[in-house]
Structure formats: structure tokens, C-alpha cells
Structure 1
């Protein structure tokens, strides 16, 4: 290969690489609100597809059970060839062909409650599966909300760490300037440099936490993990007027877990009805049309029949009784699970509510602390510049300010996530 060709190829590769880098650099970040993030997750997250498929499965199970009370139409065709044994009258009989066609219709009149019970249970199972879809939506909303606020929290903490680095950098320049004119000792410079290095280490950690939070949000909403996201919202405090009693009452009426447990209990009761049908008779109406002939397809000779069949099991070695007792034990279990679910939901609501209220109080106190710490830092800077304060005063004041801001951000994060947990614990429906 000539040097000219090699040079052209290298130039083309470089140009292509620059274009790719330019395209990547110019790609605008994806801007998302919390509601947009939730909508993305509802469309993309595999758990939604699984819950929807589960609901469809139980929908068809209802139709399957309902088919048990409808008529059944069947058709059969038989081709036969037979030869009778020789007899005195017919010493050498010839083979005989028989072509038979039968159309039969069967309609259950009474099943002893078996079909009705099966339909009832299937319908309750479907309702429970439908609630399972709602439950999946609520859990997914909580996951997205936690991930969204986690990214907001790490972004705000990153800003606090950056402010600390900026403040300590400016303070170090001031200390160095005073050291050069001989007004402060070398130890002040060294201590300021150490504090700045520590702040820079914290800034690196905060940046990594932010990147991880962004990847987590991408994962839950179904975007590529390296997608750059820009959040449109800020963490804010909106006071909730909900009382604990109202929250628990709402959960008892609308929480999917409670309603699912109720349907499971009702389904278990239908299972008892199915089991007890073994003690009762069944009545079936049937009819048939039959055509038979010695020539294919066998449609010459026609006869028909209609009959009503009543059957009752007189003895089955306690098989039916065993099924009934098994089903009744299932009712006892389902009833206790229903009671247990209500207690668990009530506890979950209480925990989320009290956590929200505790975070609410911390927001109020940390807001005051931030304002006072900011004023204290400014005073420490002025005193140090005037020569009446120490380097340690400035560093301590800056650390106190950073901690106060961190406490405030943490309180806001805890409040918003506790509020989201409370919505999920209560069973607040997800808008879609």
C-alpha cells in the first residue's frame, strides 16, 4: 500500500471518529419529569408485560369454566368391515361393510353446583389477577419515584460538595495571600490544603453516586444505562393533610393486597361448593342422530334418540367427603390470610405515615440550621480577614454549613420517598 493511500485511509478514519465524537457530544440529554418517568416505566418495564399476561390467562380461565354450562355438539364417523362366524344356515358368510355417522348434542341441566362453583372461583381468580396488575403498577411507580428522587438527592449533594470545594479553594487563596505577607503561620496553609483535598475526595464520591443514581433510573424506566438524563423537577416540600386513620381506612378499601385476599377467601368458598357437588345428582339432556349404511359414506338409514340422564354417586370410599374437608380447610386458611394481610397493610401504612411526619419535622429544623450555618460561615470569613478569627473557625463553619445543607437534602428526600411509600401502602391508583 502506498504512503498516499495509507494517508488517505488514516485521514478518513480520523474524520469518521471526529464525526462520531461530535454526534455523541451533540446528543441532547433526555429531559424527564416524575410523571414522564413513571409513564416510560409502565410502557417498557418487563414486570408490566408479565402482569398483563397473567391477567389474560385468568380471563380465558373464566371462559373455560363458563363453557361447562353450555351445550356440546360432536360428530363421529366409523368405518367397519366384519365377517360373521359360519353357521348351519350360512356356512360361508360374506364380509359385511358398516359405515356409521353420528351427531350428538349434550346439555348439562344440573351439576349439583360444580359448574357454578368453578365459574365463581375462576371469576374471583380473574379479579385477583386484575388487582395484581394494579399492584404491579403501584410498585413500579414507587420504584421509579425512589430512583427519581435518589437522582435528585445525589445531584443536590453533588452541588453541596462542589460548593464546599469552591469555598475552601477561595479560603486557601486568602490564607496563602496572608501567609505571603507574614500575617498567618504556615500551619494555616497546610490545614487549609488538607481540608480542600478532603473536600475534593468527597466531590469525587458524590459524582460517582450521581452517576450510579442516573444509571438506576435508566434501568427502571427502560432506557439504555448510559442515557444522560436531565431532571425537570426539584425536591420540594408539600404538606400532607392526610390523617393516619384516613390512610388506614383508604387502604382497607382500595389496597390491592387486601382486595386480593378477600377474593382468595371467596374463591376458597366456591371451591367448597364444587367439592360438595359430589354429594348431589347430575342431570344431563342428550340427543343423537345416527346414519348407517353398508356403502360409504353411510348416510342411508337414519335413526334418532333423546334421553335425560340422572346420575348420583352412592358410595365413593369417602372421596367426596375428603374433598369437602380439604376445601373447608382452605377456607379457614384463606380467612386467616385475609386477616393477616389487613394487619400487615395497616402496619405498613402506619410506618410510612410516621416516617413522613418525622421527615416533615426534620425539614423545618434543618431549614433553620442552613440559614444560621450560612450566616456563621460568612461571619467567620470576615473575622479571619480582619485578623480576629482563626483558620479553624472558618473551616469548622464551612463544614457545619455543608452538613446543614446535607441534612436538609436528606430530610427532603426522606419526606418525598416516605410520601410515595404511603401512597403505595394505601393503594392509590396509578394514572396511565
Structure 2
């Protein structure tokens, strides 16, 4: 009896443990629910491109410190130990220590130019970080809308398969009682098979969209995601001219292009420093002795040195010319960048308007296609319509729904691209 009770306890414990494991697994397998804002937040936190841009920002910041160090004093300590035979007296040791202090007083503007270039580069890298954030936001938004689009198209495919299955049953029932021909059954079976093929493709497209979004937001590629939002239409009220004006004033790459001109001009200043004298202060002190570490015989010196490169076979002139053409190049690149920004804004804006118009027309088409499909079904059931009428109506309804979903997707993604093209800051 005691052994029987023990077995009951073991079985009860195993069942309880199994139940807990199953529930725990169910919890871990639960899909991650995400809104669009949450997806963007995850992408900005996890995407490697952000971390790379942040590392560039830190690197550029230290570059300023490096450039500034050229204006500060530098101190070097040198120790020499030697042993020699001069051929006259016995072999002897010699130990010496030297401390040198060097301070640049005037470098012809070279040091100041390099510092300004480092600061300009740091500003440009900061803008690059913002540009990366805006691109990641667009990638996350496009990925999110792609999931919504493929999810909706998957649902349309499922509805199409369900309708064709129901229609096939109706056709088979009428064939069995001899009211329709065998060709109606065969045609219905073919259309159902085609719809099932499209359903398989739609499912695969949805799975790929989930993986792509996971990649952007930094989740494991096989993570299950439950999308909270849906494709919605929100009117965009800013005019094209205002959108372009905003972009020219706020796009990070527009500001970067202007900074590139400043950087090139600072390069001219650095190159011109070769035509100017340099002045530096130097101080030296040293100790030497025959015994280690050598601290007896003390010497010191203080000096101010000036140098002027009078002739360098045209090397400085060549550098200045290169720097001048660098400015010209930067100016042309700025113009090109600003033109491209205007084109990008215009393209996104016009694509958004085109998709907006398609939303209204495709919605009307869906309503009419649904009504036409119902009429075709009723007519076929009453024996006054053809099988082809029902199939055509179903295909037209599927196409109308697909067009509506595509229009909504195009509108929302074009709107997101427009915001990125305008340089709307990431919050």
C-alpha cells in the first residue's frame, strides 16, 4: 500500500512538472506584440548601423583633442646607456638623461586649420548619426508596413481559397444532379488549385516579411511577431514647396555638404601655412655620468627657433592649388546634393499623391466587385448564370482587394520616405 502511494506521488509530481514546462514553453513561444513606434524604438536601440555611427561620433570627438594637442607643450625623456672602448684608455661606461620641452608658438595657421577641420569633421559625423537614425526609422517603418501588406494579402488569398472551395462544392452538387457539365467542375478545380498556389506564395511572402522586420529591429530572425496596427490612411497636408523648403533646411546631408565646403576652405588655410614662418620654444636639460643612472654633470638650454621655407620647388604651391580645387569640388558637390534632395522629396511626394488617389478608386472597386460576386453566385445557383461568371467575379474581387491593399501600402511607405527625404528628426 505504501509503495502504491509513493507511485501516485511520483506520477502526480511528473504531471505537475510537465504542466509547468508546457505553460512555460507557451509563455516563451508567445508572439512579440509590436506597434509601429515600438518597432522603430527597437530598431534605433539594436540596429548595428546605429552603433557604428555612434562609434564614429566618439572617434571624431577624440580627433578634436588630437588636433588641439598640437598647440600644447610636449615633453620627452630620453635615457642612453653605452659602453665603449676608445682604443686609448680602458673600456668605459656612459649614462645620460635628457628632458626636452617643445612648445609651438606660431605655425602659420596650420595648427588652427587642423583644429577647425577636426571640429568640422565632428559636426559632420554628428549629422551622419542623425542621418543613420532617419534611415533606420524608414527601414523599420517600411518593414512594418510590409508585414501589414503581406498579412492582408495572405488574408485575401485565404478568402479566395475559401470562396472557391465553397463554389466547387456547389458546382459538384449541381453536376451530380445533372444540371451542369463536367467542364464546370474541372474549371472550378483548376481555379481552386491556382488559388491554393497563390496562398502558398502569400504565406511565404508574409514569413519573409516577418524575418526582414526582425533583422531591422534586432530580434532573432525566427521570432514570432504580432502586429498591433493596420494600414491606415492619414491625410498629409503640407504642400510640395513647403516640403522641399523644409528638406533644404533640415536634411542632415544638406548640412553635411555645406560643412564639406568649410572643411575644404580650412584645407586651403593649412596648405598656405607652408608659405609662412614657424616659431617654437625649446628647453633642454640633461645629466650624464660614468655611473648609472648618470645624474652628475648637468647641462641645460633654452631657445626660440624660427624657420621659413623660402624655396621648396613648388611643393607648397601645388598643395595650395589642390586645396583650391578641393573647394571647387565641394561647392559643386553641395549643389548636386541639394538638387538630389529636391528630386527625392518631389518623387516621394508625387508617389504619395498617386497612391492616395488609388486608395479611393480601389475602395470603390472592392465594393462593386463584392456586389458583382454575390450576384454571380446567385445567378449561377438559379441556373441563369455561368460558372465562368462566378470565377471571373471572384478573380476580379481578389484583384480589387489586392489593389486596395497595395495602394494603402504605397501611400504609407511613400509618406515615410517623404519624411525621411525632408529630414524630419527622429524623436
| TM-score normalised to structure 1 length | 0.87
**In structure 1, what is the equivalent of residue 5 of structure 2?**
none
CA apart distance, 1:184: 3.3
Matched, 1:174 2:174: no
Matched, 1:401 2:403: no
Q: Alpha-carbon deviations, 1:343-363, whole Å to 9, x = none?
A: 111111111111011000001
- 3-state DSSP of counterpart to 1:112: coil
Equivalent of residue 412 in structure 1, options 392, 408, 411? 408
**In structure 2, what is the equivalent of residue 427 of structure 1?**
423
Matched, 1:104 2:100: yes
Q: Hey, what's the Cα distance between the residues in 2 that align with 1:312 and 1:176? A: 102
Residue ranges of structure 2 left out of the alignment (5+ in a row): 1-13
CA apart distance, 1:240: 0.6
**In structure 2, what is the equivalent of residue 55 of structure 1?**
57
Residue ranges of structure 1 left out of the alignment (5+ in a row): 1-11, 87-92
**In structure 2, what is the equivalent of residue 7 of structure 1?**
none
**In structure 2, what is the equivalent of residue 382 of structure 1?**
378
**How big is the alpha-carbon RMSD for the aligned residues of Structure 1 and Structure 2?**
2.6
**In structure 2, what is the equivalent of residue 44 of structure 1?**
46
Q: Alpha-carbon deviations, 1:273-315, whole Å to 9, x = none?
A: 0110011111112223334445443434545433222211111
CA apart distance, 1:100: 3.6
Once the two structures are overlaid, the 10-residue window that deviates more, 232-241 or 37-46, is 37-46
The 5 A counterparts of 1:182-201 are 182-201=178-197
CA apart distance, 1:214: 1.5
Report the CA distance shift for 1:96/1:205 in structure 2 as closer, same or farther (over 3 A). closer
The 5 A counterparts of 1:362-381 are 362-381=358-377
Matched, 1:270 2:272: no
- 3-state DSSP of counterpart to 1:207: helix
The 5 A counterparts of 1:79-90 are 79=81
Q: Hey, what's the Cα distance between the residues in 1 that align with 2:325 and 2:142? A: 41
Once the two structures are overlaid, the 10-residue window that deviates more, 254-263 or 182-191, is 182-191
Q: Alpha-carbon deviations, 1:4-63, whole Å to 9, x = none?
A: xxxxxxxx9xx99xx799937971112222222222222332222222222222222211
The 5 A counterparts of 1:173-322 are 173-322=169-318
- 3-state DSSP of counterpart to 2:283: strand
CA apart distance, 1:187: 3.1
Q: Hey, what's the Cα distance between the residues in 1 that align with 2:239 and 2:277? A: 55
Matched, 1:32 2:28: no
Q: Hey, what's the Cα distance between the residues in 2 that align with 1:158 and 1:394? A: 21
Equivalent of residue 74 in structure 2, options 66, 72, 86? 72
Report the CA distance shift for 1:161/1:96 in structure 2 as closer, same or farther (over 3 A). closer
Q: Hey, what's the Cα distance between the residues in 2 that align with 1:283 and 1:23? A: 74
Once the two structures are overlaid, the 10-residue window that deviates more, 396-405 or 177-186, is 177-186
**In structure 1, what is the equivalent of residue 11 of structure 2?**
none
Q: Hey, what's the Cα distance between the residues in 1 that align with 2:182 and 2:94? A: 118
Once the two structures are overlaid, the 10-residue window that deviates more, 183-192 or 66-75, is 183-192
Equivalent of residue 341 in structure 1, options 337, 344, 348? 337
Q: Hey, what's the Cα distance between the residues in 2 that align with 1:99 and 1:149? A: 75
Q: Hey, what's the Cα distance between the residues in 2 that align with 1:185 and 1:81? A: 115
Equivalent of residue 114 in structure 1, options 110, 115, 127? 110
| TM-score normalised to structure 2 length | 0.88
CA apart distance, 1:176: 2.7
Q: Alpha-carbon deviations, 1:55-99, whole Å to 9, x = none?
A: 22222221111101111122233445677787xxxxxx6777654
Once the two structures are overlaid, the 10-residue window that deviates more, 368-377 or 112-121, is 368-377
Q: Hey, what's the Cα distance between the residues in 2 that align with 1:85 and 1:165? A: 106
Q: Hey, what's the Cα distance between the residues in 1 that align with 2:154 and 2:289? A: 92
- 3-state DSSP of counterpart to 2:235: coil
Q: Hey, what's the Cα distance between the residues in 2 that align with 1:26 and 1:82? A: 77
- 3-state DSSP of counterpart to 1:313: coil
Q: Hey, what's the Cα distance between the residues in 2 that align with 1:292 and 1:303? A: 9
